[in-house]
């Protein structure tokens, strides 16, 4: 009896061990498959073209060739594109946050008359929309075509993000406001002096969601921006990838001799690098956001 139990235990731990090993292998595979595309373009951007053509599947570069990066940064569109993206991301995120905090705070006041109607007014837009062309006509009527405002205003408020903030504000006990108002604090004073300092994590999360959205967006510039001096990074990247923009914007023969592939790789690296640099420091806020978002209220 005792022996059989022992044998069972042995078998089980044997199984467990095998499971652990297989599981670890799967996880390492996930890790590698997720990271390899990043590594591949990084290696491609500094390799010689011969190295790539010969091997295709490369794990290491054959030395460090910076020619492709030199060409990327010599292109006049790159600095302006970077500037446009940064301006839109900073300005847009700031405006988005101000509007979202104002809306979310009002909606979080459970005793506000008309709160339900306002919530419905906002949430309905998640379910139904005018769609591409009517929105385009509005933006065009407002005279925003070929203006950086077209990259900010049409998507400035995300109902999802606003509801996320509202959920967080609601989780703060209302007694706090009662107490503050007895101390003579106004409603807005309560928001600015008490609620916002308490909501650091939620504010950080939503700020990041907005910032990533602005940084990555290229759809708006695709339909609203024709002047290439107003293009953001993502659009210039699309141009390079699609047509090898450097074909039409060459300055000299030196540029012509840089192969398209390494140029494209370098271009991808240049546009994704800022996100990769910031990511390790901010990633925990993203996860928090999903957790807060899964709350209902």
Partner 1 sequence: MTGLQLRSKETLRQRLARYWPAYLLLIPVVAWYLVFCYLPMGGLVIAFKKFSAIRGIGGSPWVGWDNFERLFASAAFLQSIRNTIVISALNLLVGFPLPIIFAVLLNEITCTPFKKLVQTVSYLPHFISWSVAGGMVYMLLSPSTGAIPAIIEALGGTAQNYIGIGAYFRPIVVVSGIWKSMGWSAIIYMAAISSVDEQLYEAARIDGAGRFARIWHVTLPGIRGIIAIQLILTVGNILNVSFDQIFVLITDLTLDVGETIDYYIYRVGLGSSNNFSLATASGMLKSLIGLVLVVGTNKVCRMLTDGEGIW
Which residues in the 118-137 window bind partner 1 by CB under 8 A? 118, 121-123, 125, 127-137
CB of 183 to partner 1, least distance (A): 15
Q: What is the Cα–Cα distance from 20 to 74, expressed in whole angstroms?
A: 51
Choose the binding region for partner 1 from 62-70, 168-176, 197-205, 236-244 (rule: CB under 8 A).
Answer: 236-244
Q: Which one, 94 or 99, has the nearer CB to partner 1? A: 99
Q: What is the Cα–Cα distance from 212 to 93, expressed in whole angstroms?
A: 9
56 interacts with partner 1 by CB under 8 A = yes
CB of 52 to partner 1, least distance (A): 4
CB of 20 to partner 1, least distance (A): 8
Among 88, 153, 165, 202, binds partner 1 (CB under 8 A): 153
**Rg, the chain, Cα only:** 26
Q: What is the Cα–Cα distance from 98 to 119, expressed in whole angstroms?
A: 18
Q: Which one, 30 or 251, has the nearer CB to partner 1? A: 30
CB of 249 to partner 1, least distance (A): 18
The neighbour count for residue 127, using CB atoms within 10 Å, is 7
Q: Which one, 1 or 291, has the nearer CB to partner 1? A: 291
Q: List binders of partner 1 among 180-199 (CB under 8 A).
A: 181, 186-188
User: Cα separations (Å) of 181 from 134, 168, 195, 196?
Assistant: 45, 21, 13, 16
Evaluate whether 123 touches 163 at the Cβ level (below 8 Å).
yes
157 interacts with partner 1 by CB under 8 A = yes
154 interacts with partner 1 by CB under 8 A = yes
Among 147, 219, 249, 255, binds partner 1 (CB under 8 A): 219
CA dihedral defined by 188, 194, 195, 198, rounded to 10 degrees? 160
CB of 254 to partner 1, least distance (A): 21
Q: What is the Cα–Cα distance from 24 to 28, expressed in whole angstroms?
A: 6
Q: Percentage helix, strand, coil, to 5, in the chain?
A: 80, 0, 20
CB of 237 to partner 1, least distance (A): 5
26 interacts with partner 1 by CB under 8 A = yes
Give the number of residues in contact with partner 1, rule: CB under 8 A.
95
Q: What is the Cα–Cα distance from 69 to 48, expressed in whole angstroms?
A: 12
């Amino acid at each position: 009896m005792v022996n059989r139990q022992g044998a069972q235990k042995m078998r089980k731990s044997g199984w467990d061990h095998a499971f652990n090993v297989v599981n670890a292998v799967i996880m390492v595979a996930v890790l590698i498959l997720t990271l390899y595309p990043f590594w591949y373009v990084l290696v491609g951007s500094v390799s010689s073209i011969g190295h790539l053509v010969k091997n295709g599947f490369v794990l290491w570069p054959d030395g460090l060739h910076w020619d492709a990066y030199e060409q990327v940064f010599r292109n006049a569109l790159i600095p302006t594109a970077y500037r446009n993206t940064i301006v839109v991301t900073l300005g847009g995120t700031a405006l988005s946050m101000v509007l979202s905090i104002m809306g979310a705070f009002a909606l979080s006041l459970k005793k506000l008359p008309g709160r339900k109607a306002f919530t419905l007014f906002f949430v309905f837009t998640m379910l139904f929309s005018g769609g591409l062309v009517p929105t385009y006509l509005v933006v065009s009527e407002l005279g925003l075509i070929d203006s950086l405002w077209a990259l900010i205003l049409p998507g400035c408020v995300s109902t999802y993000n606003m509801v996320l903030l509202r959920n967080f504000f609601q989780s703060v006990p209302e007694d706090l406001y009662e107490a503050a108002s007895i101390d003579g604090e106004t409603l807005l004073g309560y928001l600015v002096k008490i609620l916002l300092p308490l909501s650091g994590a939620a504010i950080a999360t939503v700020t990041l969601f907005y910032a990533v959205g602005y940084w990555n967006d290229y759809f708006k510039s695709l339909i609203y921006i024709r002047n290439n001096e107003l293009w953001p990074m993502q659009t210039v990247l699309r141009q390079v990838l699609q047509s090898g923009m450097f074909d039409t914007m060459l300055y000299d023969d030196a540029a012509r001799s840089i192969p398209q592939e390494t140029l494209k790789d370098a271009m991808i690296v240049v546009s994704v690098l800022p996100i990769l640099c910031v990511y390790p420091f901010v990633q925990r806020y993203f996860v928090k956001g999903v957790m807060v978002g899964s709350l209902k209220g």
